[in-house]
Structure 1
């Protein structure tokens, strides 16, 4: 089968781009030809990378608008050259046989309150809402993949005139890369972060501190004994500074370890005892599976994949974002057998390997109708696809 994935960036550790990366690896290993359409192919490599402050927000807006408009035109032209290819779109572009719903903007804004104000004060929100209204009400895509059933329901509620058919296929986790640490790995990781044997290390990973609940985690930490400490991974430099000031106000400056963005979060997982994730909204929440794969029990709100993977008292707890509730759940987990929790967490993660996910996508692709070819896997003198490592 010939598959083309569409995303601004494709690679490990890049959020949505990591999903495309893992699918690419699985499909290539199975003998399929997998190509890429990224920002480079959309001739947007000249655009600045997003960063902190207003300049960073403007850079992000420019990239989203460019990939949604110019990227859509060029992707459609590319697909006309490859009528036999099955195209899977992950971000922005209005093209492709299948679109993966990695999040509904309106649902995310409503989950945080002040919906109208949040939409109106950010022009990019209005642009994305208009773009996706066109996406879901038209025949651009044959199918939409939702990551959990709850997201399928949210999509239909947000877009009552939804035209493509929908299916649910969850994300996977790289259970080879994300694994429980050895005793020496855990000891070394904790030593590098300044943790003692008696410390109970909470972990938060995310680039949107407010939506994903970092303020609630900090307030919960203030309710816990001094031996409970918090590791925070992610965030822009200005967000990290704000979080540091918040920790100071709560009297937690010596109990909160702010790492910022790191190229590899595994050491933080290996050093931790509990992963905290009181997010207001998630289309899936892959980081939850990554924590479980590392043997770290999770305390999280029931969003995204959480209701499907967490079992109270076995591999974590589902709770509200109320700091008191979070503190109670963390304290309860700290009193349970850590080895049993780690074993149960790992077992759940192993049920969500990328191999199984990639096979579900292939079954979906086989069901698609491809005019102009005798089937999604057949081609006569096909034009070459750009694959990993090739320039646009």
Structure 2
């Protein structure tokens, strides 16, 4: 119940009603902004408002294989991320120490609060996240690889 914390939730989904109900029940309407879907050109502006980004996917067969775009977008913007431990995301980040992993519940809340109160750690994670994303390549690299792949396939015909 720290009144200095403001939560921005972007987009809608299957949990929207549950989230709205919880906000009402907890009487935290003044601390939560629910924003409908934001077009990609505007999304970066919203992401960059954050001190910490959270990913609360419940680990499952489907989500363990996912690589959540919002996590990658946050890392690319230099926003520290707290996420549930998803196998695909852990595999992607490797030992880069660019994401804080915690299971949902008290440990997750504690991880977010700790990060909000620790600016040097947020700055360290910001650098690590940007470096991780940069190390994975860029659109020019991906385009070149795709063209080479297409040329290789066409040469076999």
Deviation at 1:341, TM superposition (A): 2.8
Q: Distance in 1 between matches of 2:100 and 2:57?
A: 14
Deviation at 1:364, TM superposition (A): 3.8
Structure 2 unaligned regions, length at least 5: none
Q: Are 1:273 and 2:57 matched, yes or no? A: no
Alignment of 1:1-392 (within 5 A): 225-235=2-12, 240-263=16-39, 264-280=42-58, 281=63, 282-303=65-86, 305-307=88-90, 308-309=92-93, 314-320=97-103, 322-334=104-116, 335-337=118-120, 338-352=122-136, 353-368=138-153, 375=156
Q: Distance in 2 between matches of 1:304 and 1:362?
A: 30
Q: Distance in 2 between matches of 1:250 and 1:311?
A: 37
SS in 1 for 2:82: strand
SS in 2 for 1:276: strand
Residues 240, 258 of structure 1: 8 Å contact kept? no
Deviation at 1:268, TM superposition (A): 1.7
Root-mean-square deviation (CA), in Å?
2.8
Deviation at 1:303, TM superposition (A): 2.4
Deviation at 1:365, TM superposition (A): 3.4
Residues 310, 316 of structure 1: 8 Å contact kept? no
- The structure-2 alpha-carbon separation of the partners of 1:300 and 1:315, relative to structure 1 and needing over 3 Å to count, comes to same
Deviation at 1:290, TM superposition (A): 0.8
Larger Rg, first or second structure (1 or 2): 1
Deviation at 1:247, TM superposition (A): 1.0
Q: Distance in 2 between matches of 1:233 and 1:357?
A: 28
Q: Distance in 2 between matches of 1:249 and 1:329?
A: 24
Q: Distance in 2 between matches of 1:358 and 1:331?
A: 40
Structure 1 unaligned regions, length at least 5: 1-223, 377-392
Deviation at 1:367, TM superposition (A): 4.6
Q: Deviation string for 1:343-390 (max 9, x for gaps)?
A: 22211121232233334434443453x5xxx546xxxxxxxxxxxxxx
Aligned to 1:184: none
**TM-score of the superposition, structure 2-length normalised?**
0.75
SS in 1 for 2:12: coil
Residues 299, 319 of structure 1: 8 Å contact kept? yes
Q: Deviation string for 1:195-219 (max 9, x for gaps)?
A: xxxxxxxxxxxxxxxxxxxxxxxxx
Q: Distance in 1 between matches of 2:69 and 2:145?
A: 17
Aligned residues: 146
Residues 292, 349 of structure 1: 8 Å contact kept? yes
